[in-house]
Amino acid sequence: MVIESKIPKEAEIPPTDFVIVGGTGDLALRKIFPALFHRFLDGQIPESCALIAAARHTLPKDDFLAQLRPFCDEVITKENEADWLAFGERVQIIGFDVKTGEGAEEIEAACLATAAVPRVFYFAISPTLFSDACQTLERTGLKTEQTRLVVEKPMGHDLKSAEALDDSILAVFEERQIYRIDHYLGKETVQNLMALRFANSIFESLWSNAHIDHVQISVAEEVGVGSRASYYDDFGALRDMVQNHLLQLLCLVAMEPPSKFVADQVRDEKLRVLRALKPITRDNFDRCVKLGQYTKGSIEAKPVDSYSNEVGHASRTETFAALRCEISNWRWSGVPFYLRTGKRLAGRASEIVITFKRPPHNIFEDGPRSSEVMEPNRLVIRLQPNEGLKLSMTSKEPGPGGMRLFPASLNLSFNETFKTRLPEAYERLLMDVARGNQTLFMRSDEVEAAWAFIDPIVNEAKLRQPEKYTAGTWGPVSAFELMAEHGHRWIEPEVDG
Ligand code: NAP
């Protein structure tokens, strides 16, 4: 069945000012303004919203739009070219220095005049500027009661720096005004995971150690470090990906049902999961963590260089991490949660795989090929590419000739089921900020609990040399051993192409 989707009434946003600080940078051009454009095309941005790109150096509007267009081109057609021009008309580029406050008056003048209008400041700037930027917004009076602040990762590089960063933001803004983005939480399938678990009864009754054997969460990238080499070499996969995206996904799989789908209740439940993670320390590190770094190889038949050549020096930074985590509570005791992420892997894919326990007894064991095909049931939640859900099960092969079993699957591809294009995560999250809905944003205690779990792992990792893996493969051999030791194996994700 194909379902035509329309913007429902509750999805409309009130008139809102969007001030993208660092509005001429990479993040703004690749993600934030294209997201605003898509929402504009769908009529979700009211006439009266101010759309401002703020940075120290301004550039002519035409040049800005020329830089932005390639990231929006995919949806611009002859028929809607006028909408692109209208969007361009709405964008204002204003010189603003978050250190000195120069340009604050121009920003104030460009915003809607009334104090009741939500004013969103999106910090697409380095976190080293956050403290100054918050002080400047207060000092210049740009911060109003209705101001909402959006901040991006990295939120610190360890617990101590995350606390310091938070303190500097919380000195000016209240928690209710702060939106810490993890764009993985804005993905359609991630929200569908909530619907799947909490709007249906069939899965939730199976959602525990009584029926689930193990959980795998993979976030694989084909890209290397590119222009982010110096940032990445300081961070590595554990801090760049596991501390935020992978742990957030783990929380959503493992959390208890909140009594209401509202921000603080959801965040309380996620926090409980983070606090229940069994610590990984020196004693169990080698059994629970495997790290890798890519060497030369090829991806899609194109040669790619090694990590050390890309960063320009020999380095111990891990570009791959696989972890075996345990959650110490009644629901999950004894169920391993395997997390893995890496760069220059064989494909780009993000998936959560829930593997259920095998049936307790195989009554078909004498049937032809029955033991080969009787795989456990798996629920695959695909975040990218091709967002969707797949439930694999064993079925009877049609026709006479005895009980022949074969692996079948129920496949729900959101792109095929819903007629319209699915909004990107940033689109949904920006609209949630305008509506004042913090459910899909992290609270400071969650960020800090995630660092408290990751810090000891990073400290141990620093003492070790990551194992090399060839670019274009699925990571180092030890990551496969991590699974095999417990009778498990990584399920190869569905990749682009
Ligand atoms: P970028 O391309 O270097 O852009 C930085 C922006 O900040 C520019 O517009 C720059 O313009 C502006 N800026 C610098 N100093 C300023 C000041 N004192 N006052 C006002 N504006 C100032 O960086 P980016 O890649 O967009 O990343 C921005 C932040 O987002 C970083 O913290 C990054 O880690 C994070 N992030 C980026 C991505 C991504 O995909 N790029 C993804 C996740 C998180 P002027 O120099 O003209 O002021």
Nearest CA to ligand 1 atom 41: 27
Nearest CA to ligand 1 atom 13: 22
Instruction: Give residues (CB < 6 A) around ligand 1.
Output: 21-22, 24-28, 30, 55-57, 96-99, 124-127, 129, 152-154
Question: What is the predicted pLDDT for the residue at 6?
Answer: 53
Mean pLDDT of 130-154: 95
Ligand 1 site-directed mutation target among 20, 21, 56, 136, most atoms within 8 Å of CB = 56
- Taking the C-alpha atoms of residue 39 and residue 58, their distance in angstroms, rounded to an integer, is 25
| d(CA 55, ligand 1 centre) in Å | 9
- Which atom number of ligand 1 is nearest to the Cα of residue 57? 47
Nearest CA to ligand 1 atom 38: 27
Question: What is the predicted pLDDT for the residue at 411?
Answer: 84
| d(CA 158, ligand 1 centre) in Å | 21
Residue 8 pLDDT level (bands cut at 50, 70, 90): low
Fold of 9-152: Rossmann fold (3.40.50)
* 33-41 vs 61-68: helix crossing angle, rounded to 10: 80
Average pLDDT, the chain: 92
Residue 123 pLDDT level (bands cut at 50, 70, 90): very high
Ligand 1 site-directed mutation target among 20, 27, 67, most atoms within 8 Å of CB = 27
Q: Considering only 51-55, 112-116, 297-301, 409-413, which range has the smallest mean pLDDT? A: 112-116
Mean pLDDT of 276-284: 97
pLDDT at residue 235 tops 80: yes
| d(CA 16, ligand 1 centre) in Å | 22
**Range(s) within the chain of domains with CATH label 3.30.360.10:** 185-424+442-484
Between 493 and 175, whose confidence is greater? Answer: 175
Mean pLDDT of 93-117: 92
Q: Considering only 48-52, 158-162, 164-168, 458-462, which range has the smallest mean pLDDT? A: 48-52
pLDDT at residue 2 tops 50: no
Q: Considering only 125-129, 144-148, 392-396, which range has the smallest mean pLDDT? A: 392-396
Question: What is the predicted pLDDT for the residue at 497?
Answer: 56
CATH numeric code, 185-424+442-484: 3.30.360.10
Nearest CA to ligand 1 atom 4: 25
- Which atom number of ligand 1 is nearest to the Cα of residue 55? 21
∠ CA 410-413-415, rounded to 5°: 165
Nearest CA to ligand 1 atom 1: 25
| d(CA 395, ligand 1 centre) in Å | 53
Q: Within a 10 A sphere around the Cβ of 272, how many other Cβ atoms? A: 16
Question: What is the predicted pLDDT for the residue at 4?
Answer: 47
Mean pLDDT of 356-383: 80
| d(CA 174, ligand 1 centre) in Å | 24
Mean pLDDT of 13-24: 95
Tens of pLDDT, residues 420-438: 677 889 999 999 999 999 9
Q: What is the CA radius of gyration of the chain?
A: 24
Nearest CA to ligand 1 atom 46: 56
pLDDT at residue 393 tops 80: yes
Report whether 299 contacts 222 (CB < 8 A). Answer: yes
- Which atom number of ligand 1 is nearest to the Cα of residue 53? 9
| d(CA 25, ligand 1 centre) in Å | 5
Q: What is the percent of the chain with per-residue pLDDT over 90, rounded to a whole number?
A: 73
Tens of pLDDT, residues 349-358: 999 999 999 8
Mean pLDDT of 400-406: 77
Ligand 1 site-directed mutation target among 19, 29, 58, 125, most atoms within 8 Å of CB = 125
Nearest CA to ligand 1 atom 3: 25
Residue 372 pLDDT level (bands cut at 50, 70, 90): low
Question: What is the predicted pLDDT for the residue at 413?
Answer: 76
Mean pLDDT of 464-474: 97
pLDDT at residue 10 tops 70: no
Nearest CA to ligand 1 atom 5: 25
- Which atom number of ligand 1 is nearest to the Cα of residue 133? 19
Between 468 and 7, whose confidence is greater? Answer: 468
Q: What is the percent of the chain with per-residue pLDDT over 70, rounded to a whole number?
A: 95
| d(CA 330, ligand 1 centre) in Å | 44
| d(CA 29, ligand 1 centre) in Å | 10
Task: Determine which one of 211, 214, 245, 313 is catalytic.
Answer: 245
Residue 7 pLDDT level (bands cut at 50, 70, 90): low
**Range(s) within the chain of domains with CATH label 3.40.50.720:** 9-152
Mean pLDDT of 55-73: 96
Which tokens hold the place of 88?
């361009």
Question: 57 an active-site residue?
Answer: no
